[in-house]
């Protein structure tokens, strides 16, 4: 820690906070904080920093040669009594900048046309670290005996794919999405690595596996994937269980609420169509159509599972990708039918929703379908996106940080989905009304949040980013999983319910509130665990944004 010009600055993984005489020159000094997107902004982006304070402030801020009044007090929100929105959208000259207020500067950021290229490379680095079977980062092999079918007891080859998060489980709910989204993001090589496993989870026309491994791998001692000696009943370090999607509630102790196969099989079919494996894609799609409903992950030791409850979006996605690949009109007709059944993103505008209830949070199929339909259907598809965005728009104006998504477990998924939907709406229609909504959601991820933390591990390298994530490579091997998007802040009551050990010293304690908490510590798996689906979603968002530019 260094002291400079009356400022207390915590560098490398802690909050940048400043104690200064406020510009209003009150009698006693007080804390205030400047929050910005630490990566930066495209030239034409809306650019808004947040100034938060204990006391009322007045005066001007500057960005380079640009100067403007800080504007009206936006009132109390979360841990802050006074908040000001510092709009420097008019700054469009490429370069490195800081926001300056009084004698205090924000963290540095870039304005330019190629701001996020290196970020995308870091996101890909994390996905490579998550590889199961053979890890190109460590040079180690793991889980070479995957797996044994828990229904039949038969061995089946399910080697490969990615570990879902900090543990060793392979969730096909997220893997299928990651494969499809990676293809759409232009990351074909990594997509094909995951696609090899997605093909194998459908060994015959009636079977699809939802999960390989389970939370028995959480038992001590903690271990790296290539050291995993978990005994699932077939010996220490033996094969792991392959859980079939059964279409009904499942679990040896705690039961999920599965109701069908369509969510999983439909998304898998979309992934396989994008991988140009049309024989498997068509078989998966037929399986999805025969079994409408949702496939959920299987809880074993603890009652937590991915409780996805939407599936028409996945059927639409499968149908439109098959149409794009084959030009068979029956798939287009079915895609249109499922599009109307899927409709709007129903989580948008809600204060809460269940864990992965609306996964993958944005219906990418509407965007994929849009170029292939008539004018009236185009209007309807755009209206589905617009309806959700309007509901969020009504929420964001209620707080200075313009947060419009619920702080539920894996909240960063919702934030990225919102930004992605806004970007896609603009690309589809040319209507720019939600551009600021998208930018402010993106900026939340990169540090313009109450904690001032970028939610991507180690990104930016010289800024304030998640640095002590809930990840075994970090805990055991001192390998920071750089590029992984962490779960994100949650409401305090959710965090309290998922706290199983002391977090230790919290450098962000001043910024915690009932509205939201975030802890950059290994112990907090509810806010600080890197996840593959969120990382890939951010990769796709940045690709789409770059194309829009």
Pairing mode, strands 241-244 and 148-149 = parallel
Q: Which of 18-27, 163-172, 220-229, 435-444 has the lowest mean pLDDT?
A: 18-27
End-to-end alpha carbon distance in the chain: 39
For residue 231, pLDDT beyond 90: yes
For residue 28, pLDDT over 70 is answered with no
- The whole-angstrom separation of Cα 314 and Cα 364 is 9
Give 80's strand partners.
77
Under the banding of pLDDT at 50, 70 and 90, the label for residue 7 is very low
8, pLDDT greater than 50: no
Helix (H) or strand (E) holding 60: strand 60-63
Per-residue pLDDT, averaged over 218-243, amounts to 94
pLDDT of residue 104: 86
Alpha carbon distance 181, 384 (integer Å): 20
Mean pLDDT for 220-236 is 93
Note the pLDDT tens digit of each residue in 526-538: 999 999 999 999 9
Share of the chain above pLDDT 90, in %: 91
pLDDT tens-place string over residues 503-534: 989 999 999 999 999 999 999 999 999 999 99
- Which residues neighbour 75 within 8 Å (Cβ) at sequence distance 6 or greater? 82, 83, 400
Burial zone of 21 (CB within 10 Å; 0-12 exposed, 13-18 middle, 19+ buried): middle
* pLDDT bucket at 27, cuts 50 / 70 / 90: very low
Kindly give the interhelix angle for 278-290 and 262-274, rounded to the nearest 10 degrees: 160
- pLDDT tens digit string along 38-78? 999 999 999 999 999 999 999 999 999 999 999 999 999 99
Residue 268, C-beta contacts closer than 8 angstroms, at least 6 positions apart: 172, 176, 198, 201, 202, 208, 284
Average of pLDDT values for 136-145?
96
How does pLDDT run across 365-396, given as a tens digit for each residue? 999 999 999 999 999 999 999 999 999 999 99
Paired with 84 in beta bridges are: 51
Strands 99-101 and 18-20: unpaired
Whole-number mean pLDDT of the chain?
93
Look up residue 528 and give its DSSP letter.
Answer: S
The predicted structure's pLDDT at residue 549:
57
Q: What is the pLDDT of residue 21?
A: 33
Question: Cα separation of 512 and 493, whole Å?
Answer: 12
Q: Kindly compute the dihedral angle of the four CA atoms of residues 365, 371, 374, 378, in this order, to the nearest 10 degrees.
A: 60
Residue 547's pLDDT is 73
pTM for this predicted structure: 0.93
pLDDT tens across 183-207, in order?
Answer: 999 999 999 999 999 999 999 999 9
Ranges of H-type helices in 397-499: 411-429, 435-445, 472-477, 492-497
Going from N- to C-terminal start, the domains of the chain cover 2-112
Percent of the chain with pLDDT over 70: 94
pLDDT surpassing 50 at residue 14: no
Q: Could you report the per-residue pLDDT of 408-450, keeping only the tens digit for each?
A: 999 999 999 999 999 999 999 999 999 999 999 999 999 999 9
* Interval 73-107: pLDDT, tens: 999 999 999 999 999 999 999 999 999 999 889 99
Q: Span 2-112: which CATH code?
A: 2.60.40.10
């Amino acid at each position: 820690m260094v002291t400079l010009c009356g400022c207390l600055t915590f560098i490398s993984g802690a909050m940048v906070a400043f104690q200064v005489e406020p510009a209003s020159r009150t009698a006693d000094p007080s804390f205030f904080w400047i929050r910005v997107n630490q990566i930066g902004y495209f030239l034409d982006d809306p650019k808004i920093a947040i100034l938060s304070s204990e006391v009322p402030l007045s005066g001007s801020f500057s960005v380079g040669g640009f100067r403007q009044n800080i504007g009206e007090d936006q009132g109390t929100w979360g841990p802050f009594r006074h908040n000001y929105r510092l709009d420097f959208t008019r700054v469009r000259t490429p370069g490195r900048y800081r926001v300056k207020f009084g004698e205090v500067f924000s963290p540095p950021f870039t304005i330019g046309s190629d701001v996020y290229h290196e970020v995308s490379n870091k996101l890909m680095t994390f996905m490579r670290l998550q590889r199961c079977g053979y890890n190109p980062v460590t040079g180690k092999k793991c889980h070479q005996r995957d797996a044994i079918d828990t229904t039949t007891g038969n061995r089946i080859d399910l080697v490969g794919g990615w570990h879902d998060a900090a543990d060793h489980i392979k969730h096909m709910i997220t893997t299928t999405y990651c494969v499809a989204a990676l293809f759409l993001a232009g990351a074909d090589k990594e997509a094909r690595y995951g696609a090899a496993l997605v093909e194998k989870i459908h060994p015959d026309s009636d079977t699809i596996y939802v999960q390989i491994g389970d939370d028995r791998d959480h038992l001590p001692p903690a271990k790296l994937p290539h050291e995993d000696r978990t005994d699932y009943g077939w010996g220490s370090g033996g094969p792991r269980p392959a859980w079939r999607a059964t279409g009904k509630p499942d679990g040896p102790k705690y039961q999920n609420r599965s109701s069908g196969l369509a969510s999983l099989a439909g998304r898998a079919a979309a992934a396989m169509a994008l991988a140009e494996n049309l024989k498997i894609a068509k078989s998966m799609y037929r399986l999805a159509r025969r079994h409408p409903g949702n496939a959920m992950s299987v809880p074993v030791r603890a009652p937590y599972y991915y409780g996805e409850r939407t599936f028409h979006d996945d059927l639409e996605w499968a149908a439109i990708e098959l149409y794009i690949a084959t030009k068979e009109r029956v798939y287009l007709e079915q895609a249109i039918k499922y599009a109307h059944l899927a409709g709007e993103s129903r989580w948008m505008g809600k204060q809460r929703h269940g864990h992965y209830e609306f996964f993958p949070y944005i219906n990418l199929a509407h965007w994929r379908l849009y170029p292939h339909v008539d004018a009236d259907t185009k209007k309807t598809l755009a209206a589905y996106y617009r309806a959700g965005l309007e509901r969020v728009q009504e929420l964001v104006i209620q707080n200075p940080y313009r947060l419009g998504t619920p702080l539920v477990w894996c909240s960063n998924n919702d934030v990225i989905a919102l930004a992605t939907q806004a970007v896609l709406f603009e690309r589809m229609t040319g209507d720019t009304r939600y551009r600021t909504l998208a930018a402010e959601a993106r900026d939340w991820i990169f540090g313009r949040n109450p904690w001032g933390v970028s939610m991507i591990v180690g990104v930016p390298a010289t800024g304030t980013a998640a640095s002590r994530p809930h990840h075994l490579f970090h805990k055991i091997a001192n390998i920071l999983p750089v590029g992984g998007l962490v779960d994100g802040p949650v409401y305090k009551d959710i965090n309290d319910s998922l706290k199983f050990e002391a977090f230790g010293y919290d450098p962000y304690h001043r910024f915690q509130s009932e509205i939201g908490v975030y802890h950059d510590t290994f112990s907090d798996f509810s806010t600080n665990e890197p996840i593959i689906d969120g990382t890939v979603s951010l990769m796709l968002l940045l690709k789409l944004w770059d194309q829009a530019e």
